[in-house]
Amino acid sequence: MIEINSYKLLPPELAIKGAKTHLYRIGLSLYKSGSVERKWFYNPILVFIIITQLMVRNIIFFLLPEMDERVYLYWGDVPYFIGPEK
């Protein structure tokens, strides 16, 4: 059995090869490591805009008073429909 000491470097045979480039590939890091290319929809600006839009939408739904069910359906508020019974 291989013993792992947390104060030493991980042995090369246990290291995951693509782990250092994963955050860059999905648009969460600006720093390129190696020769990995990201897809166009993983652009950091696009990822930031989508995450911000979802956060603002959820804050608005949290602050607004109770509305008709159709409003939640049109806006795609899934937690409203899977939430606890009232």
What's the rounded Cα separation, in Å, for the pair 27 and 52?
Answer: 14
pLDDT at 85: 65
Q: Which of 36-40, 46-50, 66-70, 81-85 tops mean pLDDT?
A: 46-50
CA distance 11 to 3: 10
The answer to the question of residue 30 being in a domain is yes
The pLDDT value recorded for residue 46 is: 93
Question: What is the residue type of 16?
Answer: I
**Per-residue pLDDT, 11:** 77
Give pLDDT tens digits for 12-61: 887 787 777 888 888 888 888 778 888 888 899 999 999 999 999 888 88
Q: What span, in angstroms and rounded, lies between the C-alpha atoms of 20 and 17?
A: 8
0.75 cut: is pTM over it? no
Residue 51 identity (one-letter amino acid):
I
**Number of domains observed in the structure of the chain:** 1
61 within a domain of the structure (yes/no)? yes
State residue 86's pLDDT score.
56
Return the SS3 of 11.
Answer: coil
Give me the domain span that covers residue 24: 19-82
